[in-house]
Structure 1
Amino acid sequence: ISTMNQNNIIQPLLTDFYQISMAYAYWKANKVNDTAVFDLYFRKCPFQGEFALFAGLEECLKFVQRFRYSEQDITYLRTVLPPSADSEFFDYLATLTAQGVSLYAVEEGSAVFPKVPLIRVEGPLIVCQLLETTLLNLVNFASLQATNAARFRLATGPTKQLLEFGLRRAQGPDGALSASRYCFVGGFNGTSNVLAGKLYGIPVKGTHAHAFVTSFYSLDEVKERMLKNKSTGRLGDFIEAVNQCRRTVEAQVGLPTANVNVGELTAFAAYALAFPGSFLALIDTYNVLKSGVINFIVVALALDQFGYRPIGVRLDSGDLAYLSVQVRELFRQVAGSLKMPWFEHLTIVASNDINEDTIHSLNQQGHQIDSFGIGTHLVTCQKQPALGCVYKLVEVNGRPTIKLSEDVEKMTIPGRKRVFRVFGQDGLAILDLMQCADEKPPQAGSRVLARHSFHPSKRVYVTPSRVEELHRCYWHEGKVMSELPNLESIREHAAASLVTLRTDHKRFLNPTPYKVSVSEQLYQFTHKLWLESAPIMELS
């Protein structure tokens, strides 16, 4: 793995203190040579949906690759453990690496479901335990963010442009960078975050703020008036062209220009002079329909005289559905009046605290928005602030373990497992099937019994047309075992993975739960261990 863009905060001490105290207790109990298997998974899909996207694997591998306590770490740990702690323990900690750990995982970007291990960690018990908190931290937010972004993409449809504008509202710089990165994985087209663009190669997008508009008041402010014609290369007076186009808009298009805000017109002209090839204006500083869109049309027509094609407008307040329809109608009016058919299709961008519910509402109302800039609700995941991944011991020294609970959803599925996704004749996923590691895998064309993990009456026969094993080994004996894709490839895989899910699993309201099942052998084994582990009540 390239260590480029490695976050130096991600280190062994980025953990909960009880991991250190458990490590010491394990050590004192002479469990240094014990081996273990841990499963990292979530119990419930986020955002009241029925799917999630797995993300954060690359950062997990970087962490495992660099796992080692420094001298400074050991010195600090001596101060936080009790004075009675044996000095030899700290010498032991100083020797630890993840060389003996094996890490199996689902491919990053895959659609995933409750109870299915996203990552399986095998190796020395103490080391595997010490990895827990950091791995959870790296997977929880990344997967939540990618899932949130994917839901926005499903809401808008595949053709709309989605831009992440959340840097200023994110939970600190690390949260902002992670949000930009994993929103791109989930289907967003770009970000306003310049550093994320540099680090991850995400397209950077943005125009100007209201402050830019309100900083101008008169066309006389524009001192550099000359613009080179894109076609001829000749210099011309752009402000003179703007004044001429004001008259054209009034006379030929029928739009009143006398009462527009001249400062706004000046700001648009100045911005167009700076970016003639990518002019997109924020038009709601004063009044969208009486000033902003008219001033944009004027400057857009002036740019056309110099051989440049404007991009469009951004709406950041008001009734977005209504305003977008009205702005599109004005674009059509210009296109018809001036014989410029391209003008009708200029881009309309909308922002203004948009969430997933807003987009569904806009779809119902009928809108003319081509692109959405989404910030706060996206990067902070306001609808659900945490995914809730857990990291559970399922085997120690080859002996399967189970955690019991009165809440069946919190019970673990014991032992080392293999997981398969089975597909129907239509190419869509039917269910995920967990099996004991030593079982024969399901085969295409052969019927197999799939059972609910704990409810005896919930069972189904399935005959898959295709079977895909979900886990592959990514880390073994100190080496990365599988080539890691770049961010664009992860993004493409995420989109392809979602396509394999039925639409009712992905719908906004009352989605159908996706089946995660266990084999007959794993079901019987789990229930046998359950009975063996549960104390028998005695009544008198």
Structure 2
Amino acid sequence: MTTFRDMDNGKNNYQHGELNLSSEDYSLLTDLYQLTMAACYTGEGIEQKRACFELSVRRLPEGCGYLIAMGLAQALEYLAKFRFYPGQIAALQSMGVFTHAPECFWSLLAEGRFTGDVWAVPEGTAIFANEPFLRVEAPLWQGQLVETYLLNTLNYQTLIATRAARLRDVAGEKATLLEFGTRRAFSPQGALWAARAALAGGLDATSNVLAALQLGEKPSGTMAHALVMALSALEGSEERAFSAFHQYFPGAPLLIDTYNTVGAAERLAEKVNSGEMKLTGVRLDSGDLVSLSKEVRSLLPGVSILASGDLDEWEIARLKAAGAEIDGYGLGTKLVTGTPVNGVYKLVEIDDIPVMKQSSGKITYPGRKQIFRSYAGGKLEVDRLGLFNENSIREKPLLELVMQAGKQLQKSESLETIRQRTAASVASLSEETRCLDQPISVKVEISELLQELTDKTKILTAETQRTQR
């Protein structure tokens, strides 16, 4: 694959059909307007002004009472590697879009690195609407250019981690939950992020081999209908398919619903009862999972039953309420897709001047902010959104300094640490916030100082607009 390091300066040699991504591509994985705005800032001589951007969601996805913040590790990795190589700059120059851009813009890109500070809530923390869970403080051009990638990784991983946390909450601590979503994820890169976020959100394992190896985890999976059909056709029986797979992978569950679920369970029961086979688990992928699981349980009482097939937290809740005999679930399509997390990344301060967006329905609060969280009886009681330098004795500030002057301050946390934080975050929420039917989110109060700054900023903005007229 051609990389940007290999390109001759001045030539647009990057065009090819692979559309794969490496860390050298990070800086160009952005929206065009990020680059055109950076060029404009440079032309106006304000590109080095200190700017603050905050990432938050205006509203929670429908049916969600909370979100689980995720994706920080990949965001920091991106910022640490952010740079433009000569071939990339040559490719941008060849586009014809930047004909009138100032010459110093190109030297800015060539010499530039991310040199800013980043504040963020730890991964696995429950968050709510209008709470900034990441803040970038950096020269204006840098803070602007990194917006697209930060939104991509934090929005998607937060979505998956939230779904995973809800699935764990509904299924219970003892249930086995496996991530099977690679084939339904929106891209190969998305599949890796989905696997990571799902594990950090509370799932036990992923079937994605690459993701598991990169994360230091052990992949988990079963078998597909193709093996059953192939061996049945070639060797004359479904039983031969089960015996063969069990011979090579004795610990893996057998998929028993290719033809007749109950019939397959009866034949397996004979082998188990005779001592011919020690079966650990079976998987059901279709049909009436309630009645089938009960029949299979009666035939194979000591065997774990795993269910799959477009399952989500609502379906798991229904299966449990109906008395289904299911020990674990394989989660795919509805875990890695669904209603997106609509995170936004907005400028809140420039050169120590607080700014705010006042568009109808899209108002933002000005200035650098902090989330102050308070508990009562071990339960999250209220969040207070205030200015970053406010003092609080009994409340816990959530945003922490994680990168300073472009250097990550600590190593990325382990999945187990994040998984435990996720579980504790969910456990701290009330039942009305965790419920699936019309959840009620946690109240987020606005501090007096933040409200005063908001009112003052509105007045100053209005005066500026009148002066311009």
**TM-score, scaled relative to structure 1:** 0.79
**Residue matched to 1:92:** 108
> Aligned residues: percent identity?
37
| 1:7, distance to aligned residue in structure 2 (A) | 4.8
| Contact 2:120 2:402 (C-alpha < 8 Å) held by counterparts | yes
**Residue matched to 1:371:** 328
After superposition, the C-alpha distances for 1:387-432 in whole angstroms (9 at most, x for unaligned) are 111111111111100110222xx211111122211111x1111111
After superposition, the C-alpha distances for 1:451-494 in whole angstroms (9 at most, x for unaligned) are xxxxxxxxxxxxxxxx2110111111232113421122211211
The 5 Å alignment of 1:45-444 reads 45-80=60-95, 81-99=97-115, 101-217=116-232, 263-276=237-250, 278-289=251-262, 291-302=263-274, 304=275, 309-331=278-300, 344-381=301-338, 384=339, 386-407=340-361, 410-424=362-376, 426-441=377-392, 443-444=393-394
Letter in 2 for 1:295: R
After superposition, the C-alpha distances for 1:146-189 in whole angstroms (9 at most, x for unaligned) are 11111211221221111111222222211211111111111111
| Contact 1:214 1:263 (C-alpha < 8 Å) held by counterparts | no
**Residue matched to 1:247:** none
After superposition, the C-alpha distances for 1:49-83 in whole angstroms (9 at most, x for unaligned) are 11001111011111111111110111111123332
In 2: Cα distance, 1:377 partner to 1:178 partner: 15
User: What is the DSSP-based 3-state SS (H/G/I as helix, E as strand, rest coil) of the residue aligned with 1:510?
Assistant: coil
In 2: Cα distance, 1:179 partner to 1:133 partner: 18
Q: 1:217 to 1:38 in 2, by over 3 A?
A: closer
| Contact 2:128 2:441 (C-alpha < 8 Å) held by counterparts | no
In 1: Cα distance, 2:232 partner to 2:45 partner: 77
Point out the more displaced range, 31-40 or 292-301.
292-301
Letter in 2 for 1:91: S
After superposition, the C-alpha distances for 1:96-147 in whole angstroms (9 at most, x for unaligned) are 1112x00010001111111111111112111111111111111110111111
User: What is the DSSP-based 3-state SS (H/G/I as helix, E as strand, rest coil) of the residue aligned with 1:38?
Assistant: strand
| Contact 2:161 2:198 (C-alpha < 8 Å) held by counterparts | yes
Letter in 2 for 1:501: L
Q: 1:489 to 1:378 in 2, by over 3 A?
A: same
Letter in 1 for 2:375: F
| Contact 1:283 1:296 (C-alpha < 8 Å) held by counterparts | no
| Contact 1:74 1:94 (C-alpha < 8 Å) held by counterparts | yes
* Structure 1, unaligned runs of 5 or more: 1-5, 222-261, 332-343, 445-466
Q: 1:43 to 1:151 in 2, by over 3 A?
A: same
Letter in 2 for 1:478: G
After superposition, the C-alpha distances for 1:227-286 in whole angstroms (9 at most, x for unaligned) are xxxxxxxxxxxxxxxxxxxxxxxxxxxxxxxxxxx611121122222233x152211111
Does residue 408 of structure 2 align to residue 480 of structure 1? yes
* Structure 2, unaligned runs of 5 or more: 1-20
| 1:364, distance to aligned residue in structure 2 (A) | 2.3
In 1: Cα distance, 2:233 partner to 2:31 partner: 59
User: What is the DSSP-based 3-state SS (H/G/I as helix, E as strand, rest coil) of the residue aligned with 1:430?
Assistant: strand
Q: 1:121 to 1:293 in 2, by over 3 A?
A: same
* RMSD of equivalent CA atoms: 2.0
In 2: Cα distance, 1:29 partner to 1:145 partner: 41
In 2: Cα distance, 1:166 partner to 1:141 partner: 14
Q: 1:217 to 1:37 in 2, by over 3 A?
A: closer
| Contact 2:92 2:98 (C-alpha < 8 Å) held by counterparts | no
| 1:521, distance to aligned residue in structure 2 (A) | 1.6
| Contact 1:434 1:517 (C-alpha < 8 Å) held by counterparts | yes
| Contact 2:42 2:104 (C-alpha < 8 Å) held by counterparts | no
Q: 1:492 aligns with which of 420, 439, 444?
A: 420
Letter in 2 for 1:107: P
| Contact 1:218 1:266 (C-alpha < 8 Å) held by counterparts | no
In 1: Cα distance, 2:321 partner to 2:210 partner: 36
Letter in 1 for 2:267: N
**Residue matched to 2:5:** none
In 2: Cα distance, 1:509 partner to 1:45 partner: 14
Number of aligned residue pairs: give it: 444
**Residue matched to 2:460:** 532
Letter in 2 for 1:8: S
In 1: Cα distance, 2:77 partner to 2:159 partner: 20
| 1:10, distance to aligned residue in structure 2 (A) | 5.5
